[in-house]
Chain A
Amino acid sequence: MKKIFILSILSVTLLFSCKKETTTDTVKTEPTDGQLNIVFNNMVGDQPLVLNQMNYTNAAGNTYSASLLKYYVSNIQLHKKNGSNVSLSNYELIDAADAESCKVLTKTLEKGDYDSMTFYIGIDADRNHNGAQDGDLDVSNGMFWTWNTGYIFFKHEGTYKNSSNQNKSIIFHYATDDAFAKVTLPIQLTINGKKTMHLKFDLNSVYSSPVNIDFNVDNNRQSSSSADAIWMANLKSNFGDAFTFMRVE
């Protein structure tokens, strides 16, 4: 009898704890709770980002484009006014070329008023150096260093016009444990049914607030040389301002 009891506990425990940690799109909605989808709107200033358009200008006055924009958002948490926290999702790869990837579909969410959220740009040190992984952390997503086990947290590639008005390439690969960047956002979210919350990610802000980045100086930074350290520190501080709450639908 005791054996059977322990065995059943064992199987139940394994059943629950072995659930995949990737986000799932099929979520049961409890009638008493709400459900939240989060949309990351990739923009430049007030304009939605369109890839391969040479019509953006950063604070340093550089005209530029993005041919590729991908980043990892991890450990999304919502915070209630009363101080309680809800963890929503673990690892999300946002790809500007794939609208579906910009939507984070969350689990059933407790009713109530949420006034802030936190998440990270990048992958925590523990998971960053782990072995074989699937889903958004699949190493064939083009966001993984095979020579130095770890993920690229943020990748922007494109073109800018240099001071002689010539088109030159931009390669920004932001990575390493030191680059793991926390973002805290005030939000106005009341959960009482199915809601979609829109967040804005402003690419211009990554290069301007609080630290201006001039592409004539920084245009090929891959987080793989000590010469990249200042650029990395600047981006890390700028990520804090790059996201803003837009609206809830």
Chain B
Amino acid sequence: MRHLSFRSKFVLALLIVLSAVACRKIVEVDDPSGQLTPYTLNLPAGFPNMKIPADNPLTVEGIALGKMLFFDPILSGDNTMSCATCHKQAFGFTDSSNRFSTGIDGLKGNRNSMPLFNLAWSKGFFWDAGASNMESQVVGPIENPLEMHENLANALAELNAHATYPALFKKVFGGDKITTSMLMRAVAQFERTMISGNSKYDQYVQGKTSLSASEQRGLNLYVDMNKGDCNHCHVIGGLFTDFELRNTGLDSIPVDPGRARITLNPLDSGKFKTPSLRNIEVTAPYMHDGRFNTLEECIEHYNTGFRYTSNLDPNLEHTVKGRLSQAEIADLVAFLKTLTDNEFLNNPVFRK
């Protein structure tokens, strides 16, 4: 190395970096049609950078294809349900007031439909974070017998026989046939663009609006460790969650094993992903099983209702039961409602 010129060192370093980066690719990604438009993300202030897999860069065409698939019932067993059936924009892409959603066979699922926004930062997908990346998540609901109940090979055959999809896929991903990985990547591209970060609270932080007296008291309670203590897990600003999995004392003996279903570790029993509190006003009912209908009920759970399970989240274990008055709960609810992002909930970009 000592005898190499600076330029050689630079090129060598470049080579090493490039090989390291390039070797991680499993699927060749290029611009097969020469007609792809790179998509530039405009992240809201305070949001961390988005990590995008090297084999699935965002393109305008890829996102449009993913959106088309998201709204297309072709991905379900009897072509009656799309992703959007249980993920409706007006409800933060949850299934309105349904505690459990009904699949194509008339069977109900066993967990509440999750909101879809700011997903790119999530450490795992589904309530138990069983899917480790967004691309892999895409095929879960398609194959789940309680949801869209479609055989992937069958879905691909239908897509390949479709009048318009083959050309669209070819333009985005190349190749002569639509493959599962293309389907996964397209939908994931669209989902990565579903970003919500323009609530009243965000505007307040930017000095564009002010909070009411009740909302301001709610904000103070939110961050007060001896009061709301919401901030430990639903970290204020940015994403309003740390995406960690926690047992929040919902049941002495969990009915649903939660994370333990994935890890088979009893210490993970009843642990579920901490959801973002953005748009929480419109995503009722709440918790992984939709057991609470109102925000007041949720806060009351953290105020007095939680049970001292053996793996209760330490943050919760250290709080004092009954620390919030009814007036304080009302103030907290008022603050939580400032996290509603009407621009996102009505944005035609996310409409069929």
* Interface residues in chain A, defined as those with a beta carbon under 8 Å from any beta carbon in chain B: 2, 5-6, 9-10, 13-14, 17-18, 20-21, 127, 129-134, 137-140, 144, 146-150, 224-226, 229
Contact = CB atoms under 8 A, between A and B. Distances in A.
B107 interface: no
9 contacts: A132-B182, A132-B188, A134-B181, A137-B26, A139-B136, A139-B180, A149-B137, A226-B264, A229-B264
Contacts, number: 109
B156 interface: yes
B19 interface: yes
B78 interface: no
B26 A21 contact: yes
Interface string B190-209: 00000000000000000000
A10 B18 contact: yes
Given A17-B22, A131-B55, A147 B126 contact: yes
B43 interface: no
B277 to A, nearest CB: 26
Contacts of A18: 22, 25, 28
B144 interface: yes
Contacts of A132: 26-27, 55-56, 135-136, 180-182, 184-185, 188
Interface of B: 7, 11, 14-15, 18-19, 22-23, 25-28, 53, 55-56, 126, 130-137, 139-140, 142-144, 152-153, 156, 179-182, 184-185, 188, 261-262, 264, 266
Given A2-B7, A147-B131, A133 B27 contact: yes
A225 B56 CA distance: 34
Main secondary structure of the interface of B (DSSP, over half): helix
A14 B18 contact: yes
Contacts of A131: 53, 55-56, 133-136, 181, 184-185, 188
A127 B132 CA distance: 11
A140 B180 contact: yes
B180 A138 contact: yes
Contacts of A150: 132
A17 B55 contact: no
A179 to B, nearest CB: 12
A147 B140 contact: yes
Contacts of A2: 7
Contacts of A148: 130-131, 261-262
Contacts of B143: 146
Contacts of B18: 10, 13-14, 17
A139 B152 contact: yes
A140 B183 CA distance: 11
B132 A133 contact: no
Contacts of B142: 146
A147 B188 CA distance: 16
Nearest to B126: A147
B264 A225 contact: yes
Nearest to B135: A131
A138 B181 contact: yes
A118 B320 CA distance: 58
List the 5 shortest-distance A-B pairs measured between CB atoms, nearest first. A131-B135, A132-B181, A17-B22, A140-B152, A146-B140
A17 B23 contact: yes
A13 B22 contact: yes
- Give the one of A9, A17, A140 with max B CB within 10 A: A140
A132 B137 CA distance: 10
A173 B290 CA distance: 32
A129 B132 contact: yes
A129 B133 contact: yes
A200 B131 CA distance: 35
Contacts of B184: 131-132, 139
B179 A130 contact: no
B28 to A, nearest CB: 5
B128 to A, nearest CB: 8
